Amino acid sequence: MSATSNTAKDLNDHLKFLTGQENLSDANANRLFKYAADDYSSIAMGTDGVQKFDDRSHDTYPISTSTVSATNPKIELDKSFLQMDRVTITLLDGTERPLKAIDRRDHKDTTLLEVYGTGTPTAYDVDGNGLEVFPHPDQDFTVTVYFTRAAKYIDVTDDTNEIGLPRTHHYYFILHACRQLGFRTLDSNRVDISQELIKWEGNDSSGRMSGGRIRDYYSNRDEDRPRRIRVKHKSYQNFGRTAISTYNNR
């Protein structure tokens, strides 16, 4: 661990320093930081690009492999799979191919098995906590799920392991916990803390959140990829109607 890294205990020590709550129990502190981690993950997962959000503290990669067969075409999804990014199948020759997502609600008068039959799976449907491949496999295949998961919860007694999120974002967890403590203690400074958190979480405009350091960070991590110029269809259509109107009135 480097001398400049932050541990969970570091965050908790600073939380107590800012709030004066020196007797805050470890259990209560952990619960405060859990809510902060959940809110942070929600913002990051909603704005990441090709470089998917993940917490470096996790011991494994966000990839899961399972075997589907003629007798078992379904896969039970782990609760940590908050967002599936890609599902692939490995063919007998070792080639990995993506499966397309389908929805059984598009076939209300028949079953997906009747539509797709059996053979080599080319698609998948997610229903509740499970994933089912179609066509149903006629032999064993390996299915790989690439997913995005939430940040790992921290333990404020940990003074060894570095937090697996960008170091420049650790202060957000402290501010978030301060706001929650402010509701508990009726701290008059909680309004100022909420204003400070807006810099991190962004603003609500007509029910849609925008801006904020966390959102800006994850939405701009793909700067090494070429940008595409997109036509604003509404403006283009209005231009077309104006041009036609002008031509007809000549």
pLDDT in tens, 42-81: 999 988 888 889 999 999 999 999 999 999 999 988 776 6
**pLDDT, tens digit (0-9, with 9 covering 90-100), for 153-207:** 999 999 999 999 999 999 999 999 999 988 877 666 667 888 899 999 998 877 7
Residue 250: band (very low, low, confident or very high) from pLDDT cuts 50, 70, 90:
very low
158: three-class secondary structure by DSSP: coil
- CA-derived radius of gyration, the chain: 25
Instruction: Please give the pLDDT value at position 96.
Output: 96
Q: State the chain's mean pLDDT as an integer.
A: 85
d(CA 63, CA 149): 10
Say yes or no to pLDDT of 1 above 60: no
Residue 186 and residue 121 share a domain: no
Of 120, 148, 176, which residue constitutes the final position of a domain? 148
The whole-number average pLDDT for the span 14-41 is: 96
Task: Please check whether residue 11 is in contact with residue 160, taking contact to mean a CB–CB distance below 8 angstroms.
Answer: no
Q: Based on the domain organization, do 69 and 141 belong to the same domain?
A: yes
Contacts of 96 (CB under 8 A, 6+ apart): 88, 89, 90, 144
The maximal CA–CA distance of the chain, rounded, in angstroms, is 81
Amino acid at the residue 49: G
Residues 143 and 171 in one domain: no
- Whose tokens are 């706001």? That residue is 179
140 pLDDT above the threshold of 90: yes
Which pLDDT score, from 0 to 100, does residue 153 have?
95
The answer to the question of residue 184 being in a domain is yes
Rounded to an integer, what distance in angstroms lies between the CA atom of residue 148 and that of residue 85? Answer: 7
**74 and 144, same domain (yes or no):** yes
pLDDT score at 123: 96
What domain count does the chain have? 2
Task: Let me know if residue 144 belongs to a domain.
Answer: yes
Q: Is residue 52 part of a domain?
A: no
pLDDT of 247 reads: 38
Say if residue 143 is in the same domain as residue 82: yes
Closest by alpha carbon to 220, among 85, 47, 54, 55?
Answer: 47
Contacts of 32 (CB under 8 A, 6+ apart): 15, 176, 177, 180, 181
Tell me the whole-structure pTM to 2 decimals.
0.77
**pLDDT bracket for residue 235 (50, 70, 90):** very low
Note down the domain range covering 185: 8-34+152-219
Amino acid letter for position 55: D
Distance, in Å, from the CA atom of 80 to the CA atom of 181, rounded to the nearest integer, reads 28
